[in-house]
Amino acid sequence: MPPLSSRRWSVLSHLEASKPTRSLSSDILIMGCRASGVPTTAEQMHDVLQWLQERQFITVESLGPMEVASITKEGREVAQRLRTVKGVLPFGLDG
């Protein structure tokens, strides 16, 4: 199973790639993680979004039952590999 740090990386990289808004719903992020080879449940996604938000890499807005994540400037720096953060591991560096 891929490490938690790869799931966090997957979320940031999918948000960075989602131009022009750089925002995605948690359901779309789950599908993106799975397509990237990172199995992800709704509960795992909720935990990842919370972790990333606590570190100000994303903001999360609740729209009824749906969560929408948006990447911040700090999160973009991580996604662009301009900043290294413990707990977020780019693909290819986890093995």
Express each pLDDT in 18-55 by its tens digit. Answer: 999 999 999 999 999 999 999 999 999 999 999 999 99
CB atoms within 10 A of CB 38: 22
* Of 60, 48, 53, residue with least CA distance to 89: 48
C-alpha–C-alpha distance, residues 95 and 25, integer Å: 29
pTM here is: 0.90
**Residues 61-89 pLDDT 10s:** 999 988 999 999 999 999 999 998 888 87
